[in-house]
Amino acid sequence: MLYHLLVPLAKDHILFNVFRYLTFRSVMALISALVISLLIGPPLIQRLKRWQHGGETVREDTPERHRLKKGTPTMGGLVILGALLGSTLLWANLRNRYVWVVVLATAGFGLIGFWDDARKLKKRKGLTARTKFLLQLLLALGLLQIVLWQPAANGWTPVLPIPFLKGWVLDLGWWWIPVATLVIVGASNAVNLTDGLDGLAIGPIIMAGGAFAVIAYLTGNFRAADYLRITNVKGAGELTVFCGALIGAAIGFLWFNCHPAQVFMGDVGSLALGGAIGTLAVLTKAELLLPLIGGLYVVEAVSVIIQVASFKLTGRRVFRMAPLHHHYELEGWAEPKIVVRFWIVSFALALLALSTLKLR
């Protein structure tokens, strides 16, 4: 909004020209989202506590130490969404199609999560996995139509660039649509599975936000894209502002979600954040980089697949418990140790993903 209000004033006062710059608006979006989340967090958490009085129930089969968490309110993802979407709408160029696709994805997945959380709190039973998956599928397919039906002149084409191989793309034709849908819905559910320890899911979002800020900026910059020989998508640079807001909102939420957590993000947060990074990957033509940038989420999801497959096929478990963070809990690792070590792995994977932009 500020972009549209203040840039026109630049013809009279050169100072307002600064609002044109992506870097300035991205940094301001980060700071704004951080301030908004720190301001709305305490009153919202109090309200969630009152509304949920008993807080979240803890399942019988959950590792013992989670018993202490009983009474912690959930749906703290509302803090993240308020800060993220508020700051994006404040600082981004609202005529940019990609900004609206990622904003609608974040809000849409957040709505599905909110519905699930509300049902869990009211009826002790959330949406069925099938209903949740169907809603996510429909939302992702709807968002992809906005991207697909646009002038190809801006350089965005439904192909899959291959990491490390300069200029190589996988042209799947229409098959790109189910693949892109899978990327977005898969990311949403992988973040959801990972959100099982204080700060575990939100930390890698900060790193993914930073990685996508760099990728969006370079992808939207003709000279940089040409030098790095990555796909140049005209207008994708504006997503850097969203990424700044994502980092700020995530850092702000971490203030309340660090151990011992005052609040959990809930599905309203985890589904929204996963949908956001999946959509960023599709819009910046980094679909095949997402498994690296969101490497921790992939590892956690794969640990569940391995555990369930092994149990069904052999009746034996590979891990003490899946997702992987529970395995280390049962190994006796302290919660903060698991979380910080998982963050370190996540950070290394995000750096490796960025290195592929050059190492091609």
Which positions touch ligand 57M (CB under 6 A)? 56, 58-59, 61-62, 66, 69, 74, 192-193, 195-198, 257, 261, 264-267, 270, 304, 307-308, 317, 321-323, 326
Instruction: Give helix 239-257 / helix 266-283 axis angle, nearest 10°.
Output: 150
Residue 351 Cβ vs ligand 57M, minimum distance, rounded to whole Å? 25
DSSP per residue, 47-96: HHHHHHTT-----TTS-GGGGGGTT----THHHHHHHHHHHHHHHS-TT-
DSSP per residue, 154-187: GS--S-EEPTTSTT-EE--GGGHHHHHHHHHHHH
Residue 277 Cβ vs ligand 57M, minimum distance, rounded to whole Å? 16
Classify residue 196 by its DSSP letter. Answer: -
Which residue's CB is nearer to ligand 57M, number 195 or number 287? 195
CA atoms within 13 A on the CB side of 64: 4
The Cα–Cα gap between 11 and 13 comes to 6
Residue 88 Cβ vs ligand 57M, minimum distance, rounded to whole Å? 22
The closest alpha carbon to 82, from 30, 41, 123, belongs to: 41
Which residue's CB is nearer to ligand 57M, number 185 or number 357? 185
Residue 269 Cβ vs ligand 57M, minimum distance, rounded to whole Å? 6
Query: What residue type is 84 in one-letter code?
Result: L
Classify residue 9 by its DSSP letter. Answer: G
Which residue's CB is nearer to ligand 57M, number 193 or number 215? 193
Which residue's CB is nearer to ligand 57M, number 160 or number 193? 193
Which residue's CB is nearer to ligand 57M, number 39 or number 304? 304
The closest alpha carbon to 73, from 50, 96, 97, 40, belongs to: 50
Classify residue 311 by its DSSP letter. Answer: H
Residue 3 Cβ vs ligand 57M, minimum distance, rounded to whole Å? 33
Residue 101 Cβ vs ligand 57M, minimum distance, rounded to whole Å? 24
Residue 185 Cβ vs ligand 57M, minimum distance, rounded to whole Å? 15
Q: How do beta strands 169-170 and 160-161 pair?
A: antiparallel
Phi (first) and psi of residue 197, to 5 degrees: -140, 155
- Asked if 221 and 265 count as a contact pair (C-beta separation under 8 A), the reply is no
Residue 84 Cβ vs ligand 57M, minimum distance, rounded to whole Å? 16
Residue 282 Cβ vs ligand 57M, minimum distance, rounded to whole Å? 23
Which residue's CB is nearer to ligand 57M, number 216 or number 321? 321
Which residue's CB is nearer to ligand 57M, number 25 or number 326? 326
Which residue's CB is nearer to ligand 57M, number 193 or number 241? 193
- Asked if 197 and 63 count as a contact pair (C-beta separation under 8 A), the reply is no
Which residue's CB is nearer to ligand 57M, number 197 or number 288? 197
The Cα–Cα gap between 91 and 195 comes to 29
The Cα–Cα gap between 49 and 43 comes to 10
CA 32: distance to chain centroid?
18
